Amino acid sequence: MDLSVVGCGYVGLVLGACLAESGHDVVCVDRDEERVADLRRGKIPIHEPGLEDLVEQNLAQGRLRFTADLGSAVRATDVIFIAVGTPQDEDGSADLQHVLDVARSIGDHLDGEKVVVTKSTVPVGTSRLVRATIEERSSHPVHVCSNPEFLKEGAAVDDFMKPDRVIVGVESERAQRILEDLYAPFVRTGNPILFMDPASAEITKYAANGMLATRITFMNLIARLCEATGADAEKVRHGVGTDSRIGPSFLFPGIGYGGSCFPKDVKALIRTFENLDQDGALLRAVEATNEEQKRLLLDRVTRRFGEDLSGRSFAVWGLAFKPGTDDMREAPSVQVVDGLLERGAEVRAHDPAAMENARALWGPKVRFCETSYDCLNDAHALLIHTEWQPYRRPDFQRMKRLLHSPVILDGRNLYEPSRMREMGFEYHSVGRPPVSTEALSLTGEPHGEIEEAAARR
């Protein structure tokens, strides 16, 4: 099948490369000619495990090509995917400017019956709007479908190749047959292709991300309760997650969600509720609670060391919002590092993938270290933002020798408190009792008085 993908960002590039890998001829379109030139050389603009090899292989086999000429791509293909960005507008809603620009261009170049698929994350009603926009400019038949993506950054290729389900919103039998044939190779193990109307497909995407954001936030709220009472959030998580009605996914206590999807999609869903005069109070609470949680490590630093951090240095492990990606959009590390710098601290940082993006953000204000251990020399504390694998089993003796004081503020609960106690660290994680014998706890109570404080509450 001849396919085109408009937009060579995260979604479009994964989509195009994976469809080419399944044997289709795919042309990916982007108006950025410099990006197109890089992609033709196999240079991709994002960090995503396995994607670069996939692009190189399919370029070499001739199944994948890149162009800035949208018109030629529309005329040469049977199915056109729209995978351009839908950035957040000033009011929190999804900005459809790029989607509708593409729809207008498709209408201008349509030369026969085509299937147009919105892959971008778009609010309910967008498929109808895209179809109307195309039909204003063309008399050729067009079948507009919604096919939202469910890709996790850091595992996107695997998610596409082995989806747990494929959601497709269609309004014609022809479009359904084509997309069923297109996705059949990816669901051979029996996972479903779920066909529905386009509006239901559009809402499904937002509902899924809203649900996951809510689970994360709810667990972080429970972690606060655990800290206030001396309970252990990890044990609570295990107790809740083994309930078959709930399950363990997205219940890890931490410092909040970030990235390009959850924050933007929660805001857009809130705005959709408002536009329809519906009550979105639950999602507003999720958003507000998550913003508070992202500041957790900064609040703990100031409680431990004071508001004036002049003359103090802090090591930061992890800058990306999650492991497996270089994406720092809405990452908790950004608020924390900004707060440390504003208070006069020296910051030394390491991340296996996000250093280039971080340099573009902070420049010389932050010292970027070649290895994670280089950050630690004479630092007053280590702050952990991202659960990269190399951070999980470090040399604790070496860490203790390098740090000015053996203080670890762990936003991802990488280590066992009992081990930290044995190693002589002051250790503060999320939702678990702190490990310390001298300093005040980061809830403001002396460590020796935690149980009494919990009883008073």
Q: What does the pLDDT look like over 250-288, one tens digit per residue? A: 999 999 999 989 999 999 999 999 999 999 999 999 999
Q: Span 318-340, mean pLDDT? A: 97
pLDDT at 338 over 60: yes
pLDDT at 68 over 50: yes
Contact 11, 151 (CB under 8 A): yes
pLDDT digits (tens, 9 = 90+) for 350-405: 999 999 999 999 999 999 999 999 999 999 999 999 999 999 999 999 999 999 99
* 87-91, 137-141, 188-192, 308-312, range with the lowest pLDDT: 87-91
User: Count of CB atoms within 10 A of residue 251's CB?
Assistant: 19
- Determine the Cα angle at 406 with ends 402 and 412, to 5°: 105
Distance CA 322, CA 256 (A): 10
pLDDT at 445 over 60: no
Domains of the chain: 2-196 (3.40.50.720), 205-292 (1.10.1040.10), 295-456 (3.40.50.720)
pLDDT cut 90: percent of the chain above it: 92
pLDDT grade for 441, boundaries at 50, 70 and 90: very low
Question: What is the secondary structure of 136-178 as a DSSP string?
Answer: TT--S-EEEEE------TTSHHHHHHS-S-EEEE-SSHHHHHH
pLDDT at 446 over 50: no
Residues 6+ apart with CB under 8 A from 155: 49, 324
Distance CA 271, CA 351 (A): 34
- Looking at residue 425, its amino acid is F
Distance CA 443, CA 449 (A): 11
Contact 382, 409 (CB under 8 A): yes
pLDDT digits (tens, 9 = 90+) for 16-61: 999 999 999 999 999 999 999 999 999 999 999 999 999 999 999 9
Residue 275 DSSP SS3: helix
> Kind of pairing, strands 313-317 and 142-146?
unpaired
pLDDT score at 312 = 98
> Kind of pairing, strands 381-384 and 313-317?
parallel
Q: Span 426-446, mean pLDDT? A: 71
pLDDT digits (tens, 9 = 90+) for 88-128: 888 888 899 999 999 999 999 999 999 999 999 999 999 99
Contact 320, 351 (CB under 8 A): yes
261 classed as catalytic: yes
Structure tokens belonging to residue 368: 């970027």
pLDDT score at 91 = 83
Total number of residues shown for the chain: 457
Q: To which H or E segment does residue 196 belong?
A: strand 193-196
Residue 372 DSSP SS3: coil
What distance, in Å, lies between the first and last C-alpha atoms of the chain?
Answer: 65
pLDDT score at 437 = 54
Distance CA 242, CA 240 (A): 6
> Which residue among 226, 261, 369, 375 is the active-site one?
261
